Structure 1
Amino acid sequence: MASSYGPGSSEPDSTGKKSDSKLESPRTQYLLLMTFSVVIGLAAALGAFFFRWLIEIFQSAFWTKGSDFLESAANSPWWLVLLLPCAGGLAAGVIITNWAPEAKGPGVPEVIKAIAVRGGVIRHRITFLKALVTSLLIGCGASVGREGPIVQIGASLGSSVSRIFKLDKSMLPVCVAAGAAAGISATFNAPLTGTLFAIEILLLDTEISYISHIIVASVTASALSKFFWGDFPTFDAPHFTFNNFEELIIFFILGILAGFVSLAFIAMIRTTENIFDKIPIKDWIKPGIGGLILGLIALKIPGVLGVGYETVNLSLTGVLPLDLALLLLAAKMVATSLCLGSGMSGGIFAPSLVLGATLGISVSTGLNMLFPSLALTHSQYALVGMGTVVAGTTLAPITAVLTVFELTYSYKIILPMMVGCMTSTLVVRMLNGYSIYEAKLLRQGVNIIRGHDESVLVNVAITEVMETDFDTLKMSDPLSKAMEMVLSSPFPHFPVLNDDKKIEGILTLRDMRPYFKDQNYLKELPAIVDSIMNRTIVSVPQNSNLKEALMLFERTGVSFLPVIDSENKVIGIIKSIEAFKKFQEKRQRNRILSLAVKN
């Protein structure tokens, strides 16, 4: 810009104020947060139990009786298969559109956004409405998963518990992540998977001491889930044996194929979202259309309905023929994309497991047909396939490895899983660069930043940094008044307003300096502020964050920024020195639990 606003000194702001939190001591804060982790774990497990109970209620109420959901759907009359997903989509569309827009979609991107953008704040109502909407959709046959919604339910409970008990704001993201981890742990009875899911996918930065709180919540939820459901196996996972290291080449190939399946899945969801966005009808109707198309597919392929665990178990038992496995692979991808693209609520974790299981058994069956001497075990390739597609869609290979490990408790599966999952992740990272969750956030204009310092910047709102006690000038004010204010102010930088109190320019000591050198300088000009003010304005909107402000300071060299509202009125100012102080304060505060507690 033509003129910087110039450097200037400032009075101390409120950074020295005592925190509103009652948890002043780091040691006390650490111990109390550990206690709250147990509470969050219990709450998340109860939320998961309530959610799964609702699913069972809706499925038993709507469908013909059967030994499992797939048999119930296959035995139901054709008109029910066709219309029930549509009816569920319409009902869910009304609830989502009018009362809970955050309940739309998988759930995990919404939690990531809440942590990265809103500091972990999730509305209290989301806990119940997410459970209600998603359980209704799954109960009606929607081709979505239940894990993503359980993550959002657990995260919402973690956010609510921390705010109800008025924990320090800096602890809110940890509580949200602990609730999400507890939800996953309760679903799979897998505390390690829950913990790694929170760390690898949800948290943008992690302090070592925070991990213990997440583990406590995850273990608590797993223990309570055993009380509700017993020591249950999520899948009929077979015993895994691995003795032929030459098979690692096949697992490597499986990883490459899983990467391309993941890319196709991500692209198909994005395409269906674009198509439904362009349909000129009310948003609440779109899930009904998606449900109707799903019903048409299900008339021929009932296996696309519901979460899809029945298909996974068929793959793990090795009884799924090649043609049916390939058909279910393609049909499930289309069905889930339709549901999520039309605006339904539901996860992608379970559909990814289905895609991986059908891909794995397709590879093993196909190779056995071509090379009978290989004698590949179908169930083992289904297991590894599950992990590789999950790794490709989420770009979380460690979580994928641990998910399958905790299903089998066999150390022999780790090496094949690592080969397949890392290969799949590498393919997606090289050809796309974003996970399925990050891709959905990009559609909303949210570019997630990985790294401690930058996430601290994003989490600090402009309104936390700005000063509301500041001086202004009017365009019509005489220069004599401006001169007096410049001489008497400790920070001679003034927004200049018009008669409607909207900003029109900036007046600083630098603009007045020629007058102080030669008072004849202004004789040829009207003796008002409008004649010498700088009309090039660098400002920030009130909904910005500290990262955007610091980038402006660096790019323009100005020493302060007016904060403007939607009507172009100044509601505060940010001084560059105070913005950098706030960053240092927040960074230090977020790391306080990792510092040694002295004395």
Structure 2
Amino acid sequence: MSLRRRLFLPLAWMRRQIRASEFALIALAVAIGSAAGLGTVIVAALARTVQHWMFALPVGQRLSETAALGWPQLAILPLGGAVLAIFSLGVRSRQRRMVDAVEANALHGGRMSVSDSLVVSGQTVISNGFGASVGLEAAYAQIGSVIASVSGATLQLRRSDLRNLVGAGAGASIAAAFGAPLTGAFYAFEIVIGAYTPSAIAPIAAAAISAVFVSQLFGAQPYVIDSFATLPPESHHYLLYAGLGGVCALLGIALMRLVALAEQGSRKIPLPDWTRPILGGALLMPIAYWSPQVLSSGHGALHMDIAVGASLGFVALVFVAKVSASIVSLGFGYRGGLFFASLFLGTLVGHLFAGVLDLIAGYPVVDPHNAAMVGMAALAVAVVGGPMTMAMLVLEATQDFALTGAVLAAALVSSTIVRETFGYSFSTWRLHLRGETIKSARDIGWIRSLTVDTMMRRETRATDSAISIADFRHRFPLGATSRVVLVDADERYAGIVQTPAAYAEGLDAAAPIGTVAINGDAALAIDMDIAGVMKRFDASGADELAVLDADRHVVGILSESYVRRRYAEELEKAQSDLFGER
């Protein structure tokens, strides 16, 4: 027996077990979660090691809680930009765009590339390790999701199962990073899968729990925030915190737009593209000289700002500095995300919100520490998405059940405002700028794969539009065909004639048949997806449309009734997958 045959038999057996048994799928999710937890530990250790080497940090100290940095240390920032540029130039031969978990689940049925994911993770580790104001959460999720994608693709799992596993892998990595299994599970549902799917609950929960177990087994510490609140949240505070959610929504939208503007502006600078992160590192130096809190993801700074009271002016300056550092870092080509930056910025907004209320009322209205936690969740929801994800993060980090309701109220307000006025999270906003149309990880890949080319009837019989109506009647008696496609003298499309129309009374039999043709300006391109086809049918009001190539030569024909039937069939199949029909 050949080696290939020996490998195929166990994989085929495993695939049958996973398709037939939910227990087998859960077992696979546990293995993926364990691997994702280990991958998260490795990525975090690499980034921290680089930071400690570069900035000579004491053991156990985070870069963002450093009191001060001198200019020689700050020169590490543009050095990091140079290292990132060299690394990126080394992998520039890759022509395809690198896909993250959200895009993979929305457009590619959960399929991801190992090499591309390693490149993304490497760029993120370099960016964070050399002090850029970006988080590691993008690398965590990338590693976990690609482990799941490769595992599911190797076993040739169904599209729905593969998408659920990719969500489980990404969620497991986030769970391991924060030591928060509920946060990881909701991250998988809200951000990576895009829906709450009953069939995915058990695998995702199992993956998140196993990831937390493995990460803590290797020394990772859970994300815990000490609660210093002196005023418990009361019912009337919910309205105030809802207002804080609205403020955070507007700030989140502004932040995402500013990052996009900075990126567009940096690309217009008349310098080679590889110099962008070096220039960005140089721009970060004066910001970090004033406040090292802006560097890296900001874990240490967040804990320090919550524990130590500061004046409103100082908090506002730190907020502006962190926003500026994040915009510069992402706008000038550093790789990473805004997940933890939005958490840190949210705590600052919460502090400012509570302080302003105190100044207006003349007495403490809400507890500043509670407001910081609510702001943390609300701003993160505005930027990252996932109101339940962020509510669970605050709950698991503080163990404060009384605060959870206020956090959820603010998160829902923030999410609703962003969804209604902006429509994107940071990840989908960047995809939108790249030309994609997705607004969440919901699966629309089947829509894009259902193209005109796969649905049309090939048309090999086209008729000259110059022949007379009499000649047409001779060639096509009533009942012979329902319609005829016409072409001009250059074999280009000239419309469609419905056969009964050529037999209408009062027509000049000597006139060209092209005079009774319809839909001469309405046609379909061969690469259009089903969504575009349905819009074209609605706009034209036609029952059938010709399919043309780039030179307007007829290659086929497609009817509206067939298109809508195929759409209904695929939609029913997608909904069956969504609700877990195994």
TM-score, normalisation: structure 1:
0.80
Say if 1:191 and 1:218, in contact at 8 Å, map to a contact too: yes
Partner of 1:332: 322
Q: Distance in 1 between matches of 2:359 and 2:579?
A: 60
Q: CA deviation at 1:143?
A: 0.7
1:369-380 equivalence runs, <5 A: 374=364, 378-380=368-370
Cα deviations across residues 270-329 of structure 1 (Å, max 9, x unaligned)? 321332344344433333322321233223322221111111110232345544322221
Cα deviations across residues 54-81 of structure 1 (Å, max 9, x unaligned)? 3134324433233322339826724624
Aligned-partner residue type, residue 553 of structure 1: F
Q: CA deviation at 1:336?
A: 0.8
Q: Distance in 2 between matches of 1:146 and 1:262?
A: 19
Q: Secondary structure at the match of 2:494?
A: strand
Q: Secondary structure at the match of 1:381?
A: helix
Q: CA deviation at 1:137?
A: 0.9
Q: CA deviation at 1:194?
A: 1.7
Cα deviations across residues 441-475 of structure 1 (Å, max 9, x unaligned)? 332333336798x9487454315742464424265
Q: CA deviation at 1:382?
A: 2.6
Aligned-partner residue type, residue 390 of structure 1: A
Select 1:420's aligned residue among 396, 410, 415.
410
**Identity level (%):** 23
Partner of 2:8: none
Partner of 2:542: 558
1:350-361 equivalence runs, <5 A: 350-361=340-351
Q: CA deviation at 1:331?
A: 0.8
Structure 1 gap segments, 5+ residues each: 1-19
Q: CA deviation at 1:348?
A: 0.7
Q: CA deviation at 1:265?
A: 1.6
Q: Structure 2 vs 1, CA of residues 189 and 483 (structure 1 numbering), >3 Å: closer, same or farther? A: farther
Q: Secondary structure at the match of 1:505?
A: strand
Cα deviations across residues 352-394 of structure 1 (Å, max 9, x unaligned)? 0110122233444566678785396544333222112112323
Partner of 1:212: 202
Q: Distance in 1 between matches of 2:212 and 2:488?
A: 60
Q: CA deviation at 1:351?
A: 0.6
The question of 1:461 aligning with 2:450 is answered: yes
Structure 2 gap segments, 5+ residues each: 1-11
Q: Structure 2 vs 1, CA of residues 542 and 469 (structure 1 numbering), >3 Å: closer, same or farther? A: closer
Q: Secondary structure at the match of 1:346?
A: coil
Cα deviations across residues 404-425 of structure 1 (Å, max 9, x unaligned)? 1111222122123124323434
Q: Distance in 1 between matches of 2:27 and 2:492?
A: 50
Select 1:234's aligned residue among 223, 231, 240.
223
Q: Distance in 1 between matches of 2:578 and 2:330?
A: 40
Partner of 2:6: none
Partner of 1:154: 144
The question of 1:585 aligning with 2:576 is answered: no
Say if 2:228 and 2:369, in contact at 8 Å, map to a contact too: no
Q: Secondary structure at the match of 1:406?
A: helix
Q: Structure 2 vs 1, CA of residues 221 and 376 (structure 1 numbering), >3 Å: closer, same or farther? A: same
Q: Structure 2 vs 1, CA of residues 189 and 146 (structure 1 numbering), >3 Å: closer, same or farther? A: same
Q: Distance in 2 between matches of 1:533 and 1:372?
A: 78
Select 1:63's aligned residue among 32, 55, 61.
55
Aligned-partner residue type, residue 545 of structure 1: D
1:108-127 equivalence runs, <5 A: 110-127=100-117
Q: CA deviation at 1:192?
A: 1.4
Aligned-partner residue type, residue 340 of structure 1: L
Q: Distance in 2 between matches of 1:476 and 1:248?
A: 71
Partner of 1:54: 46
In terms of mean alpha carbon deviation, does 438-447 or 130-139 score higher?
Answer: 438-447
Q: Structure 2 vs 1, CA of residues 505 and 344 (structure 1 numbering), >3 Å: closer, same or farther? A: farther
In terms of mean alpha carbon deviation, does 475-484 or 383-392 score higher?
Answer: 475-484
Aligned-partner residue type, residue 337 of structure 1: I
Q: Distance in 1 between matches of 2:545 and 2:283?
A: 52
Select 1:471's aligned residue among 457, 460, 467.
460
Partner of 1:547: 531
Q: Structure 2 vs 1, CA of residues 129 and 539 (structure 1 numbering), >3 Å: closer, same or farther? A: farther
Q: Distance in 1 between matches of 2:308 and 2:177?
A: 24
Aligned-partner residue type, residue 232 of structure 2: N
Q: Distance in 2 between matches of 1:127 and 1:570?
A: 42
The question of 1:74 aligning with 2:69 is answered: yes
Q: CA deviation at 1:546?
A: 1.5
Say if 1:387 and 1:401, in contact at 8 Å, map to a contact too: yes
Partner of 1:223: 213
Aligned-partner residue type, residue 82 of structure 2: A
Q: CA deviation at 1:216?
A: 3.0
Q: Secondary structure at the match of 2:114?
A: coil
Say what the alpha-carbon RMSD is for the aligned residues: 4.1
1:395-406 equivalence runs, <5 A: 395-406=385-396
1:182-193 equivalence runs, <5 A: 182-193=172-183
Q: CA deviation at 1:484?
A: 5.6
Q: CA deviation at 1:203?
A: 3.4
Q: CA deviation at 1:45?
A: 2.6
In terms of mean alpha carbon deviation, does 192-201 or 569-578 score higher?
Answer: 569-578
Q: Structure 2 vs 1, CA of residues 321 and 450 (structure 1 numbering), >3 Å: closer, same or farther? A: closer
Q: Structure 2 vs 1, CA of residues 62 and 258 (structure 1 numbering), >3 Å: closer, same or farther? A: same
Q: CA deviation at 1:191?
A: 1.9
Q: Secondary structure at the match of 1:225?
A: helix
Cα deviations across residues 243-268 of structure 1 (Å, max 9, x unaligned)? 35255565345434433432332232
The question of 1:243 aligning with 2:232 is answered: yes
Say if 1:142 and 1:339, in contact at 8 Å, map to a contact too: yes
Q: Secondary structure at the match of 1:538?
A: coil
Q: Secondary structure at the match of 2:75?
A: helix
Q: Structure 2 vs 1, CA of residues 413 and 195 (structure 1 numbering), >3 Å: closer, same or farther? A: same
Q: Secondary structure at the match of 2:146?
A: helix
The question of 1:276 aligning with 2:266 is answered: yes
In terms of mean alpha carbon deviation, does 557-566 or 313-322 score higher?
Answer: 557-566
1:297-446 equivalence runs, <5 A: 297-364=287-354, 374=364, 378-429=368-419, 432-446=422-436
Q: Structure 2 vs 1, CA of residues 217 and 487 (structure 1 numbering), >3 Å: closer, same or farther? A: farther
The question of 1:504 aligning with 2:496 is answered: no
Aligned-partner residue type, residue 455 of structure 2: M
Aligned-partner residue type, residue 63 of structure 2: F
Q: CA deviation at 1:145?
A: 1.4
The question of 1:295 aligning with 2:279 is answered: no
TM-score, normalisation: structure 2:
0.82
Q: CA deviation at 1:96?
A: 7.0
Say if 1:255 and 1:423, in contact at 8 Å, map to a contact too: yes
Q: Distance in 1 between matches of 2:262 and 2:111?
A: 30
Partner of 1:4: none
Partner of 1:16: none
The question of 1:83 aligning with 2:75 is answered: no
Q: Structure 2 vs 1, CA of residues 579 and 430 (structure 1 numbering), >3 Å: closer, same or farther? A: closer
1:138-153 equivalence runs, <5 A: 138-153=128-143
Q: Distance in 1 between matches of 2:531 and 2:446?
A: 5
Aligned-partner residue type, residue 55 of structure 1: A
